[in-house]
């Protein structure tokens, strides 16, 4: 069918006659197919690696010191699920200060996770004058009684000794903690008898260790309709009992949710106002990667952004603090929570890297989407990343390739502390001392910020 010329041709060279044999057409295709089959898996591997892992070969990740247990994810995931599932809600009230509120003595409440090993922040490295209150986290509830391990108790004794340096420092023990499903609260509040057992152990504990009070961190009393009422009864009964202790005025505080839906579900706010000395509003984890909210967002924005609508317009510090006041909590009893850690996201498209950009996982920086401030500093420095500061929300963020991180810096926390001061709330709460730069490791634009730069920026703005 084909001529001989289709298969052979001759070329005369100056040196010799050389005959070249051309391969048959089906032989050529066979070799090409073999080459394609050999190369394709290699190409596909690198393409898939780039898609799944974000071409991170050009990003340097510091060895993270961020420690996150699976339980720590509970609050962030609860906030995320609540936001995604809340499609109907009351009209957002317009908040404003309607009367002159006298300047009160602000509080700077700092949570401190008791050390579990030598690499953790040790008590001897704390500044007794940095915070007005230190909440030692966490004690638990076992058999309806307050419980701490012997190791925790020894560290608590060291904590109390800080009061010898600063006589005005208040040391409290926080009971519960994020995501501790078996935290003992539901069983303990079940009836008057079980609550009485707990209260007796609390009074005995604060006397034995010479602490200044107790902080309850139940996340959250909304599993059934009775928990909210029983929690209020617990607060009332604790207040009555500690008021009987004439030698000391013990403090009763509560760590509370920030999102609108959880606040309205979990708490009898006017009654709580009668019994607590103040509340610590956990106004962070507003945006966190989950299957319900697969997009970027700020961890703790001061205000909503210009384009946020519906329930997302309520996920900010300003709304949460004022909403608590709107429901009946005295303004001076509202201590506004601020984080020293950030959240990371893995972008779906490296070119789409703004607010509410699609994401499909936690970032590689940190652990389970959480990252401490020193790790953020190192990440920005070694990769020469300049953060973006969003003026609407007073929040910074940074991205490179597929990595996106929301965090706080001295600028954003100064804005928030000034806001707390101007609005005459009770003060600021920090979660946590452990996530700040306590090792003097951060460098911003080539200069060190000192130890605990984030907490110090809050203190300077709040009391300055």
Q: For residue 219, indicate whether it is catalytic.
A: yes
What residues have CB less than 8 Å from 15, skipping those under 6 apart? none
Give the active site residue among 208, 219, 418, 445. 219
Give the C-alpha distances (Å, rounded to integers) separating 340 from 268, 446, 456: 29, 21, 11
Indicate which residues carry an active-site annotation. 219
């Amino acid at each position: 069918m084909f001529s001989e010329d289709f298969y052979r041709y001759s070329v005369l060279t100056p040196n010799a006659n050389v005959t070249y044999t051309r391969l048959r057409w089906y032989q050529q295709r066979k070799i090409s197919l073999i080459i394609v089959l050999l190369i394709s898996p290699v190409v596909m591997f690198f393409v898939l690696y780039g898609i799944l892992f974000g071409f991170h070969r050009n990003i340097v990740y510091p060895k993270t010191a961020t420690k996150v247990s699976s339980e720590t994810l509970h609050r962030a995931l609860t906030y995320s699920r609540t936001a995604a599932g809340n499609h109907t809600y009351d009209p957002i009230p317009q908040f404003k200060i309607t009367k002159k509120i006298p300047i009160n003595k602000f509080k700077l409440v700092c949570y401190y996770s008791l050390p579990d090993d030598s690499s953790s922040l040790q008590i001897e490295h704390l500044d007794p004058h940095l915070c007005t209150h230190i909440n030692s986290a966490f004690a638990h509830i076992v058999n309806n009684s307050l419980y701490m391990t012997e190791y925790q108790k020894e560290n608590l004794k060291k904590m109390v000794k800080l009061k010898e340096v600063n006589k005005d420092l208040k040391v409290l023990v926080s009971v519960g903690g994020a995501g501790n499903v078996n935290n003992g609260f539901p069983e303990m509040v079940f009836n008057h008898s079980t609550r009485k057992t707990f209260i007796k152990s609390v009074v005995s504990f604060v006397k034995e260790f010479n602490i200044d009070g107790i902080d309850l961190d139940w996340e959250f009393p909304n599993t059934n309709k009775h928990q909210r009422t029983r929690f209020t009864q617990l607060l009332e009964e604790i207040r009555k009992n500690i008021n009987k202790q004439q030698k000391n005025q013990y403090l009763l505080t509560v760590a509370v949710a920030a999102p609108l839906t959880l606040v309205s579900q979990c708490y009898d706010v006017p009654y709580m106002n009668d019994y607590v000395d103040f509340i610590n509003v956990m106004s962070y984890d507003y945006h966190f990667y989950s299957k319900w909210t697969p997009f970027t967002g700020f961890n703790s924005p001061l205000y909503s952004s210009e384009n946020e609508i519906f329930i997302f317009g309520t996920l900010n510090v300003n709304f949460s603090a004022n909403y608590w006041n709107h429901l009946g909590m005295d303004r001076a009893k509202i201590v506004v929570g601020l984080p020293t850690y950030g959240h990371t996201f893995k972008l779906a498209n490296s070119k789409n890297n703004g607010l509410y950009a699609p994401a499909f996982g936690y970032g590689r920086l940190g652990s389970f989407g959480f990252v401490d401030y020193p790790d953020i500093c190192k990440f920005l420095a070694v990769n020469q990343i300049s953060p973006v500061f969003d003026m609407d929300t007073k929040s910074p963020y940074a991205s490179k390739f597929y990595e996106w991180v929301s965090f706080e810096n001295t600028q954003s926390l100064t804005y928030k502390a000034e806001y707390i001061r101007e609005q005459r709330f009770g003060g600021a709460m920090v979660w946590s001392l452990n996530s700040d730069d306590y090792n003097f490791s951060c460098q911003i634009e080539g200069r060190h910020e000192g130890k605990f730069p984030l907490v110090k920026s809050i203190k300077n703005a709040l009391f300055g």
